[in-house]
Amino acid sequence: MSIRRICKYGEKVLEKSARKVDFEKIKKDLPGILKDMFDTLDAVGGVGLAASQIGLDLRFAVVKIKKENEEDLRLVLINPELAEKSGAMYGEEGCLSFPGLFAKVKRFSRVKARALNEKGLPIEINAEGLFAKAIQHEIDHLDGVLFVDRLPFMTRMKLKPVLMRLKRQWKKMDESKLKNNSNQ
Ligand SMILES: [Zn+2]
């Protein structure tokens, strides 16, 4: 089991549109990466994780949905696209790349997504509620869009100082880590 480091707001990989996956090219490495991603999600208690959040410029994500009295639903979305979207909901959202930050974001309440699964087979997912929110959040990541980009203008303005501070803190953390690494 290996837990991957999750990239934080301010790291460039989170702001770019991820490269489309050529399944044949990554199928050998994919099972290991997916296992790490689910292990990471289990360890930090998240709902979804995009490959870009562990520093990979690749268009795929994992989503884990808790089900009552059933095993968690673990979904792999490779090259996902929203095929249909409808309705609206407004709910609290967080992101593993912004630890401790939560804000209300407007999302579609129902979506249909098309993607490839972990075997490279095409799948179609109809989702609503929390599940729909998670899928939209992860596809956004793959487009380089972060949940704070979805906030109403005034909220974004209010949060700006907090975000700037977080960016500086994480930058310092990363720099000290780099220093440690170069000492070894
Ligand atoms: Zn996120």
Q: What is the pLDDT of residues 13-57, one digit of tens each?
A: 999 999 999 999 999 999 999 999 999 999 998 899 999 999 999
Local confidence band at 184 (pLDDT 50, 70, 90 cut-offs): very low
Q: Could you tell me which of 21, 169, 82 has the C-alpha nearest to residue 34? A: 21
Question: 99: CA distance to ligand 1 center in Å?
Answer: 10
pLDDT in tens, 93-105: 999 999 889 999 9
Catalytic residues: 138
Q: Give the three-class secondary structure for 59.
A: coil
12-151: CATH number: 3.90.45.10
Residue 88: band (very low, low, confident or very high) from pLDDT cuts 50, 70, 90: very high
The percent of residues in the chain predicted with pLDDT above 70, rounded, is 93
How many Å lie between the centroid of ligand 1 and the Cα of residue 102? 11
Q: Taking the domains of the chain in order of start, what are their residue ranges?
A: 12-151
Read off the amino acid at residue 173.
M
Q: Which residues contact 49 (CB under 8 A, 6 or more apart)?
A: 6, 37, 40, 41, 61, 62, 96, 138
Cα of 8 vs centre of ligand 1, distance in Å, is 10
- Please list, in sequence order, all residues whose beta carbon lies within 8 angstroms of the beta carbon of residue 97, skipping any fewer than 6 positions away: 6, 7, 8, 9, 11, 14, 53, 146
Tell me the CA–centroid distance for residue 93 and ligand 1, in Å: 9
Q: What is the pLDDT of residue 182?
A: 44
Which residues are within 5 Å of ligand 1 (an ion), measured at CB? 95
Distance CA 154, CA 138 (A): 24
